[in-house]
């Protein structure tokens, strides 16, 4: 956390407390651990109404984009222009919580939207398979302050973590997503 003093004068010797600087929190950063992930892909569970899936995730990597360079050569000059954009792969790691059956829920999500090895169906058996994924950043009061949306996302890879007796870590599930567009705005999404 970064702080700065609103006043440069400081004299805290003796009984005089009038010179104590006021510490500002204007440079307070958004914390990396305060967020939620919502998949708008409808998951129906045992005859209930389909609803968005909100899961706690351990780690999120790859929310980003870049633009290729177009190199133009003119006599002795070389200049660049922005070219085609490309999105990074989004990798989300989830704790495999036993009570919530996270690995089963994510496997169902993967097999319903991308590829089901039991039936051989690709892309959810012909059903529309690309959905937005919302990452909502929360402030200190746990209220939404930023929303990042990966538009046109689908799960590309489903990986269970290593099973190993020698570690004392929670088991995790890692899902890699591809997406078409990225949107970042300062308000909460509406599911």
- pLDDT tens, 30-82? 666 777 888 876 554 445 555 777 787 888 888 889 999 999 999 999 999 99
4, pLDDT greater than 50? no
- pLDDT tens, 71-104? 999 999 999 999 999 999 999 998 888 777 888 8
Who contacts 66 (Cβ-Cβ below 8 Å, separation ≥6)?
85, 86, 88
Provide the pLDDT for residue 175: 93
Put simply, whether the predicted model's pTM sits higher than 0.75 gets the answer no
- pLDDT tens, 159-174? 998 888 888 888 889 9
In the chain, where the domains are located: 1-29, 31-185
What is the topology classification, in CATH, of domain 31-185? Pnp Oxidase; Chain A (2.30.110)
* Terminal-residue alpha carbon distance, the chain: 32
135, pLDDT greater than 60? yes
């Amino acid at each position: 956390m970064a702080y700065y003093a609103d006043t440069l004068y400081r004299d805290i010797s003796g009984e005089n407390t009038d010179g104590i600087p006021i510490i500002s929190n204007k440079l307070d950063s958004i914390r990396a651990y305060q967020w939620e992930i919502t998949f708008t892909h409808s998951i129906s569970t045992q005859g209930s109404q389909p609803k968005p899936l909100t899961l706690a995730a351990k780690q999120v990597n790859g929310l980003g984009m870049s633009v290729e360079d177009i190199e133009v050569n003119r006599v002795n000059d070389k200049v660049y222009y922005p070219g085609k954009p490309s999105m990074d792969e989004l990798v989300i790691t989830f704790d495999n919580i036993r009570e919530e059956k996270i690995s089963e829920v994510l496997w169902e999500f993967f097999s319903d939207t991308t590829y089901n090895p039991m039936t051989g169906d690709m892309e959810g058996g012909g059903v529309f398979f690309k959905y937005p994924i919302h990452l909502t950043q929360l402030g200190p009061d746990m209220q939404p302050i930023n929303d990042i949306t990966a538009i046109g996302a689908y799960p590309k890879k489903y990986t269970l973590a290593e099973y190993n007796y020698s570690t004392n870590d929670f088991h995790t599930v890692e899902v890699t997503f591809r997406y078409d567009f990225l949107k970042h705005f300062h308000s909460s999404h509406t599911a």
